Amino acid sequence: MTDDSATELFEHLELREYEATALRQLLEIGRTTAPNLAEATGIPRARIYDVLETLSNAGYVKEIPGRPKEYEAHHPETILERAIENRRQSFETFRGDVESVRDSFLAEFGPVYERASEDVTPTEDLFHVVDVGQPSETETRRLYHEATTEIRVLTKSFEYFAAVEPSFADACERGLSIRVLLLEPAHLTPDNRAIQAERIEHLQSTYPDVALRFSDERLPWRGTIADPSMDYESGTAVVLVEEEDVPLSMRQAAITENESFVAGLGRYFELIWEHESTAVA
């Protein structure tokens, strides 16, 4: 592993410089004392115990009692699993904090917002846009969490699935009807074909109630649709238009809650699903 890639990995653990330095050194040298670690890393002795306590509280390092006390890094797999759990706990704490002030926040700012809107002619944007990547994935996760009845997905190989799987799993656990329309493998590059095959195997083994089909032809757009209504009463969609000549990092996704527009997308999905697709074996 290069220094750059190692630094990037430790950044994901949200460690400060001294903490990242100490953890990396412990992973490389094994069990040692605080003074020895301070000498090996250049971390001031006045700071090393605080650094080790932070790493221990995060679940990345274990303390071995004795005279002197020693410290040892947990297995890298344990560190990564603990990092995920720490983030989950942090989010749950944040969610609790938000919920604790929800009523007072709405009571204070709801009327203010309504008064400010009284003299404005009501309008509804057809859609708004976000960058493809983390912003569009955030919107997709929100869509999964807020859906109440069904979700329809159009995708080439579902390459972004790992980024949204917890929200996808939540929708499955709530009993939503989920259908995924993938692109026929013959239209994919070898790399995307391999990713698609891996995703299909995972979906079939982990989420057996999710329906999967292959679109016979390339589609002009891909995205996720939630709760479309042919009565134009509900629905949300995140849509990405295919632009092969534009790098993915420069593309934008459209988010719409316009019920009529979502109904149209839902009708398009149904036509492809029923007449221009084949079952996934």
Q: For position 121, what pLDDT does the model report?
A: 57
| Percent of the residues in the chain that have a pLDDT greater than 90, as a whole number | 65
Q: For position 112, what pLDDT does the model report?
A: 87
Q: Is the pLDDT of residue 4 over 60?
A: no
| Percent of the residues in the chain that have a pLDDT greater than 70, as a whole number | 93
In this prediction the pTM is 0.58
Report which of residues 40 and 250 the model is more confident about. Answer: 40
Q: Is the pLDDT of residue 34 over 50?
A: yes
How far, in Å, CA of 92 to CA of 273, rounded? 38
Output the CA–CA distances (angstroms, integers) from residue 65 to 72, 94, 116, in the order listed: 11, 34, 63
Q: For position 248, what pLDDT does the model report?
A: 62
Q: For position 114, what pLDDT does the model report?
A: 84
Domain ranges of the chain: 1-123, 128-279
Please name the residue that has the structure tokens 């700012």.
109
Q: For position 3, what pLDDT does the model report?
A: 52
Q: What is the pLDDT confidence band of residue 168, given thresholds at 50, 70 and 90?
A: very high
Question: Do the domains 128-279 and 1-123 match in fold?
Answer: no
The mean-pLDDT minimum among 77-86, 118-127, 204-213 falls in 118-127
Averaged over 247-267, what is the pLDDT? 87
pLDDT tens digits, one per residue of 95-144 = 899 999 999 999 999 888 888 767 655 556 788 888 888 888 999 999 99
Average pLDDT, the chain: 89
Which uninterrupted H or E stretch holds 235?
none
Q: What is the pLDDT confidence band of residue 25, given thresholds at 50, 70 and 90?
A: very high
Report which of residues 4 and 79 the model is more confident about. Answer: 79
Question: Strand 61-64 to strand 70-73: parallel, antiparallel, or no bridges (unpaired)?
Answer: antiparallel
Q: Is the pLDDT of residue 47 over 90?
A: yes
Q: What is the pLDDT confidence band of residue 22, given thresholds at 50, 70 and 90?
A: very high
Q: For position 246, what pLDDT does the model report?
A: 67
Phi, psi of 60 (to 5 degrees): -95, -20
Pick from 179, 242, 187: nearest CA to 213: 179
Residue 42: burial class (beta carbons within 10 Å; 0-12, 13-18, 19+): exposed
Q: What is the CATH number of domain 128-279?
A: 3.30.870.10
From the candidate CATH numbers 1.10.10.10, 3.40.640.10, 3.30.950.10, 1.20.120.420, the one assigned to the domain spanning 1-123: 1.10.10.10
Averaged over 170-193, what is the pLDDT? 94
